[in-house]
Structure 1
Amino acid sequence: MSTGHPYGDGHVDRQRLRSVLGRLPTGVVAITALEPGTGEPCGLAANSFTSVSLDPPLVAFCVAHTSTSWPRIRHAETLTINVLAEHHQGVCRQLAGKGGDKFAGIEWSSSPGGNPIIDGTLAWIDCSIDGEHLAGDHMIVVAKVRHLDVNDDGGPLVFFRGGYGGFRA
Structure 2
Amino acid sequence: MLDRMQTEPTAQIDPRALRDAFGALPTGVAVVTLRDAAGMPTGMTVGSFASLSLSPALCLFSLGRNQASARLFAPDVPFVVNVLPDTMADVAWQFARPQPDKCAGIALSDTAVDAPGLQGAIARFACHVDSIHDGGDHVIVVGRIADFDHAPGDALVFWRGGMHRPAAVGASS
Give the TM-score normalised by the residue count of structure 1. Answer: 0.90
For structure 2, list consecutive stretches of 5 or more residues without a partner in the other structure: 169-173
In the other structure, the counterpart of 1:29 is 30
Give the TM-score normalised by the residue count of structure 2. Answer: 0.88
SS of aligned partner of 2:88: helix
Distance 1:126 1:75 in 2: 15
Q: Does residue 166 of structure 2 align to residue 161 of structure 1?
A: no
Distance 1:156 1:75 in 2: 29
Shift of 1:4: 2.9
Counterparts in 2 of 1:60 and 1:3: CA distance versus 1, 3 Å: same
Contact 1:134 1:140 in 2 (8 A): yes
In the other structure, the counterpart of 2:147 is 147
Aligned length: 167
1:60-111 CA distance string (max 9 Å, x none) = 1001012112323547731110011111111111111112210110011111
Contact 2:33 2:80 in 1 (8 A): yes
Alignment of 1:36-55 (within 5 A): 36=37, 38-55=38-55
For structure 1, list consecutive stretches of 5 or more residues without a partner in the other structure: none
Shift of 1:153: 1.8
Distance 1:39 1:8 in 2: 47
In the other structure, the counterpart of 1:117 is 117
Shift of 1:117: 1.4
In the other structure, the counterpart of 1:7 is 7
In the other structure, the counterpart of 1:97 is 97
In the other structure, the counterpart of 2:57 is 57
Counterpart code for 2:147: H
In the other structure, the counterpart of 2:126 is 126
Distance 1:100 1:115 in 2: 18
* 74-83 or 125-134: bigger deviation: 74-83
Two-structure CA RMSD over aligned residues (Å) = 1.8
Q: What is the aligned-residue identity percentage? A: 34
SS of aligned partner of 1:86: coil
Distance 1:148 1:138 in 2: 26
SS of aligned partner of 1:4: coil
